[in-house]
Amino acid sequence: MTIHLAMLRSAAWLVPGEMRAEWLAEWSAELWHIQRRHRLKTTGFCLGAFRDALWMRRNCPPAMPSASWLESPIRCLGFLCLLATVCALAALRYQRPGLPLPVRGPIGAMLYMALMTVPILAAITSLRLGSYPGQPNAWRWAFFAAKVALVLFIVFSGVLNLAAMLGLKVASGPLHCILIGNVVGLRWALIDQRRRCPECLRLVTHPARIGVPSQIFLEWYGTEFVCVKGHGLLHVPEIPTTSFRTQSWTHLDRSWSELFK
């Protein structure tokens, strides 16, 4: 293997997996041509492959959700309830009475750590769930609240149980782990909620890139998702602008239902 082919193979790791083989084959064929006609330009050609690979990584449509088995809201809550039950059973075995906590009572301590998480969470991700005109909010907010409550309980009890099993003092590190776990868990809950249909609460799929970055002044640039039940389309702007500050939902009436059977 030549050094130039090794450079192309290294750049290929930056390309999304489903496009990697085709990308590497195309660049390898062009490398063979460059080596025969313009040998002195070979190194610069291979360095340009890294720029192209980064562009492919940046502009390809988002991958399908990896945890497709959590697509259904019932499965999602069921999985979180299972984890919460395991943590509760572990607490009955490992936790000692009179455990020192930052405030009195486990529920108060859990809420206290959750409030400490909010400023950090707001700094690393948006707290807005999107614009859903004309859509009912009760079930969506109930589903989101259930996810948040279960995530907070899983992180709080899970970290304390692990600390008890390892013989660690609560003040020596587990509280910081709870804070980090809350940030990760609540960020997942926000992202998961933004990727769900407001009507059936299933994860939207089939991402499609629309528009180009150079035309965001007059046109929309972002990714469009579709609900597999045909309830509507989710538009997620790649670059927030004055006209498209946040993701928005477009409802589809029943005349579109035949396309989703």
Give residues with Cβ within 8 angstroms of 120, minimum separation 6. 179, 183
d(CA 174, CA 195): 31
**pLDDT for 145 beyond 50:** yes
**What pLDDT, in 10s, does the model give residues 208-225?**
877 776 666 667 778 889
d(CA 220, CA 210): 7
Q: What's the mean pLDDT when you consider all of the chain?
A: 79
Q: DSSP strand E in the chain: where?
A: 205-210, 222-226, 232-237, 248-251
What's the angle, vertex CA 5, arms to CA 39 and CA 11, rounded to 5?
115
Name the pLDDT band for 138 (thresholds 50, 70, 90). confident
What pLDDT is attached to residue 65?
47
Q: What share of the chain is helix, strand, coil (3-state, %, to 5)?
A: 60, 10, 30
**What pLDDT, in 10s, does the model give residues 50-104?**
888 888 777 665 554 455 678 889 999 999 999 999 988 887 776 555 555 555 5
**pLDDT for 252 beyond 80:** yes
**What pLDDT, in 10s, does the model give residues 112-127?**
888 888 898 888 888 8
Which range has the top average pLDDT, 29-38, 98-107, 182-191? 182-191
Name the pLDDT band for 190 (thresholds 50, 70, 90). very high
**pLDDT for 187 beyond 50:** yes
Least confident of 109-113, 149-153, 242-246: 242-246
What pLDDT is attached to residue 242?
58
What pLDDT is attached to residue 59?
67
d(CA 49, CA 15): 10
Quick one: average pLDDT of 156-166? 78
212, two tokens: 């180009």
Give residues with Cβ within 8 angstroms of 59, minimum separation 6. 209
